[in-house]
């Protein structure tokens, strides 16, 4: 299946993916207006150190430890995409304990958050990929 | 192929899903002593807190049994397993035969024989949905609650009912709260936080006897209460396999979730298995382990190949907004970080991470869990960096190409 993959050497560390991710969840039409004066809490995060940077978001694992460990059944996998039912989640953080990529994070709405490949926001390409100016994150089939 | 699963919680459900990965047709029967659709047991405190509902706490959707082509016999208990005839006798007089059997019977609250316990009117344990409903019936704004046990169950109960009663006192024999998962100073941080919400503790204390609405402690102190919650500990339900399979504290299983008896598997809180963080066999009564052992059992029962050999003790839990994540065992050298209410300790030796405790900021804790489970040699990563900042930066570029770039291992 198609996943978000990282081409580390192309990452500029510009953090635009984080802004596009945060914007994708707002249902607004203008990014500058939507994100003005707010501290974003995106589902994709740039790690950077000494000139190296790369984006980390959910890998949509074939053997997802977050889904298997979820105590409520809020995290599920369907057609390879792992999504969170925020209504069922109680923020116990067992998924944060379980994810080997650090790709599930707390959110401000009483449930955890993670990349859902923009399945709930747009159709087609994840917003982070569309917004990356340098092809450092791509949405494609690989091995 | 006929599969019988005793138990309808995480391990039993994991087994149904495991069986269906390998066998779409076999006959699956789930026998459950509780008369309910599968629900998440750890959510009973959230139910009393009002953060979930009976509908939302269903562990799987309403269509689960139908979609997986299995029969649920709810409200029916297994009286006996006949491993020779390969059948189980039910308390409704019927018996059902099996080709492969899973024992996922969980655990039961342990109630010590306190003197005078029978004189206490409103008392309960806190393990099941029915326990929660019973406790809910006792609650009231003027009620005083005494909880025996400052472990995970007792303290989640306290959080769940704190807003619905006038006062809560928690007593424990141990000198610190959450003694099974926290060290002394970590426990103190969490205790202070819980105390700030009005819960009172009596630690290193025990009840000598009860007299109706009064507990008399060993110290001579008396504590008045209206509701008593017994959360001392749990015991694995192993009796069905007595004289059939090898049992220590829990039912002994291997990495395939197989017991020592032919065609009988076991999974979840009733079992005892290898903790790879300590190398010891122990009971790790945790929902994620239960599910994965159950799933593993199901796949193997259905003729597939699966091993779950990465069990470690691990817990994610929160009290009144303060989150705690712990895993592994706390031996070896220590990396320490304390900043305001954020507390982190990593324990390592022999080039491996043994365990960790994070309180407050728990982001990316799974990076550490993974280092323990995978037994990653610490000299193969930037350990100093990962101590400070859990993340994938600590791994080599090649590792990241596998983890993030889709490169084959």
Q: For chain B, what is the mean pLDDT? A: 97
**B200 and B155 Cβ atoms separated by less than 8 Å:** no
Going by pLDDT thresholds of 50, 70 and 90, the confidence category of residue A55 is: very high
Assess whether B221 and B241 both reside in one domain. no
Assess whether B296 and B332 both reside in one domain. no
- Pull the structure tokens for residue B48: 């009393």
The residue from B232, B265, B293 where one domain ends is B232
Given A95, A96, A143, which is nearest B407 (Cβ)?
Answer: A143
Determine the average pLDDT of the residues in A40-60. Answer: 97
What count of Cα atoms within 13 Å lies in the side-chain half-sphere of residue B317? 26
Among chain B residues, the shortest Cα distance to A99 is held by: B366
Q: Which residues, listed in sequence order, are joined to residue B235 by a DSSP beta bridge?
A: B108
- Fold agreement between A1-57+118-143 and A60-114: yes
Mutual angle of helices B10-22 and B287-301, in 10-degree steps = 30
Assess whether B266 and B348 both reside in one domain. no
CATH of domain A60-114: 3.30.70.20
pLDDT beyond 70 at B383 = yes
Determine the average pLDDT of the residues in B146-155. Answer: 98
What global pTM score does this model have?
0.96
The rounded percent of chain A whose pLDDT value lies above 70 is 97
Q: Give domain status of residue B309, yes or no.
A: no
Contact A94 B288 (CB under 8 A): yes
Backbone phi and psi for residue B160, each to the nearest 5 degrees, phi listed first: -65, -35
Assess whether B274 and B356 both reside in one domain. no
Continuous segment of H or E residues that includes residue B279: none
Chain B contact set for A99 (CB, 8 A): 366
Chain A contact set for B60 (CB, 8 A): 73
* Residue among B217, B212, B135 nearest B170 (CA): B217
Q: Is B127 helix (H, G, I), strand (E, B) or coil?
A: coil
pLDDT beyond 70 at A122 = no
Note which residues in 315-344 of chain B have CB less than 8 A from chain A.
315-318, 323, 325, 327
Note which residues in 276-295 of chain B have CB less than 8 A from chain A.
287-288, 291-292, 295
Determine the average pLDDT of the residues in A107-116. Answer: 93
Assess whether B125 and B219 both reside in one domain. yes
Identify the pLDDT of residue A123. 64
Identify the pLDDT of residue A125. 87
Identify the pLDDT of residue A16. 96
Does A135 contact chain B (CB < 8 Å)? no
Report ipTM (2 d.p.). Answer: 0.96
Going by pLDDT thresholds of 50, 70 and 90, the confidence category of residue B245 is: very high
* Residue among B52, B22, B53, B58 nearest B40 (CA): B58
Distance CA(A106)–CA(B155), nearest Å, equals 22
Distance from the Cα of residue A39 to its chain's centroid: 17
pLDDT beyond 70 at A18 = yes
pLDDT beyond 90 at A110 = no
Q: Which residues, listed in sequence order, are joined to residue B73 by a DSSP beta bridge?
A: B31
Alpha carbon of B46: minimum distance to chain A alpha carbons (Å): 8
pLDDT (tens digit per residue) in B81-99: 999 999 999 999 999 999 9
**B160 and B48 Cβ atoms separated by less than 8 Å:** yes
Contact B397 A87 (CB under 8 A): no
Cα separations (Å) of A36 from A4, A17, A30, A33, A45?
A: 27, 16, 10, 5, 19
Identify the pLDDT of residue B67. 97
- Pull the structure tokens for residue A141: 């089939």
Chain A contact set for B374 (CB, 8 A): 100
Q: CB atoms < 10 A from the CB of B41, how many?
A: 23
Going by pLDDT thresholds of 50, 70 and 90, the confidence category of residue B319 is: very high
Assess whether B272 and B193 both reside in one domain. no
**B320 and B193 Cβ atoms separated by less than 8 Å:** yes
Cα separations (Å) of B345 from B3, B267, B353, B365, B380?
A: 45, 31, 11, 12, 21
Contact A101 B366 (CB under 8 A): yes
Distance CA(B111)–CA(B322), nearest Å, equals 29
Q: Is CATH 2.60.40.10 the classification given to domain A1-57+118-143?
A: no
Distance CA(B274)–CA(B23), nearest Å, equals 28
Boundaries of domain holding B327: 321-403
Total residues belonging to chain A: 143
Cα separations (Å) of B360 from A9, A101, B8, B46, B189?
A: 34, 20, 34, 20, 10
Going by pLDDT thresholds of 50, 70 and 90, the confidence category of residue B394 is: very high
Identify the pLDDT of residue A143. 67
Q: Give domain status of residue B313, yes or no.
A: no
Instruction: Give the residue, B19 or B408, on which the prediction is more confident.
Output: B19
Structurally, chain B folds into a number of domains equal to 3
pLDDT (tens digit per residue) in B350-379: 999 999 999 999 999 999 999 999 999 999
Parse chain A into domains and list their residue ranges.
Answer: 1-57+118-143, 60-114
Contact A71 B42 (CB under 8 A): yes
pLDDT (tens digit per residue) in B109-119: 999 999 999 99
């Amino acid at each position: 299946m198609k996943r978000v993959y990282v081409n580390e050497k192309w990452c500029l560390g510009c953090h635009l993916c984080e802004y596009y991710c945060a914007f994708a969840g707002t249902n607004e039409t203008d990014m500058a207006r939507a994100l003005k004066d707010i501290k974003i809490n995106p589902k994709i995060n740039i790690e950077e150190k000494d000139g190296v940077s790369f984006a980390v978001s959910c890998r949509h694992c074939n053997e997802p430890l977050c889904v298997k460990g979820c105590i409520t059944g809020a995290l599920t996998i369907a057609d390879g995409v792992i999504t969170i039912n925020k209504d069922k989640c109680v923020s116990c953080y067992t998924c944060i304990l379980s994810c080997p990529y650090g790709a599930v994070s707390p959110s401000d709405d009483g449930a955890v958050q993670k990349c859902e490949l923009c399945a709930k926001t747009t159709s087609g390409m994840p917003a982070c990929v569309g917004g990356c100016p340098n092809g450092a994150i791509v949405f494609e089939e690989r091995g | 192929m006929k599969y019988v699963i005793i138990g309808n919680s995480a391990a039993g459900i994991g087994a149904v899903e495991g069986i269906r990965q390998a066998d779409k047709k076999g006959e699956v029967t789930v026998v459950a002593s509780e008369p309910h659709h599968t629900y998440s047991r750890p959510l009973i405190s959230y139910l009393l807190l009002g953060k979930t509902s009976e509908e939302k706490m269903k562990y799987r959707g309403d269509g689960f049994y139908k979609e997986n082509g299995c029969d649920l016999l709810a409200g029916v208990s297994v009286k006996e397993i006949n491993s020779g005839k390969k059948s189980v006798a039910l308390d409704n007089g019927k018996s059902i035969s099996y080709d492969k059997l899973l024992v996922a019977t969980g655990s039961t609250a342990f109630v010590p024989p306190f003197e005078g316990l029978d004189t206490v009117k409103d008392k309960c344990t806190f393990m099941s949905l029915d326990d929660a409903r019973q406790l809910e019936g006792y609650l009231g704004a003027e009620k005083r609650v005494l909880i025996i046990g400052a472990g995970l169950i007792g303290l989640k109960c306290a959080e769940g009912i704190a807003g619905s009663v006038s006062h809560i006192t928690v007593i424990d024999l141990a000198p610190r709260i959450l003694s099974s998962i926290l060290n002394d100073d970590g426990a103190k941080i969490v205790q202070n936080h819980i105390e700030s919400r009005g819960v009172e503790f009596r630690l290193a204390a025990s009840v000598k006897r009860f007299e109706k609405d009064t507990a008399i402690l060993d110290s001579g102190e008396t504590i008045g209460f209206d509701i008593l919650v017994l959360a001392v500990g749990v015991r694995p339900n192993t009796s069905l396999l007595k004289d059939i399979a090898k049992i220590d504290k829990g039912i002994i299983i291997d990495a395939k979730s197989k017991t020592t008896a032919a065609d009988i598997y076991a999974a979840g809180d009733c079992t005892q298995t290898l903790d790879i963080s300590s190398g010891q066999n122990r009971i790790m009564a945790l929902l994620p382990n239960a599910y994965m052992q159950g799933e593993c059992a199901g796949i193997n029962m259905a003729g597939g190949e699966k091993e779950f050999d990465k069990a470690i003790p691990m817990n994610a839990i929160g009290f009144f907004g303060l989150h705690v994540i712990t895993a592994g065992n706390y031996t070896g050298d220590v990396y320490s970080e304390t900043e305001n209410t954020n507390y982190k300790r990593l324990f390592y030796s022999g080039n491996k991470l043994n365990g960790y405790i994070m309180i407050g900021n728990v982001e990316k804790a799974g990076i550490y869990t993974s280092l323990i489970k995978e037994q990653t040699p610490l000299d193969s990563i930037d350990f100093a960096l990962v101590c400070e900042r859990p993340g994938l930066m600590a791994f080599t570029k090649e590792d990241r190409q596998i983890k993030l770039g889709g490169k084959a291992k």
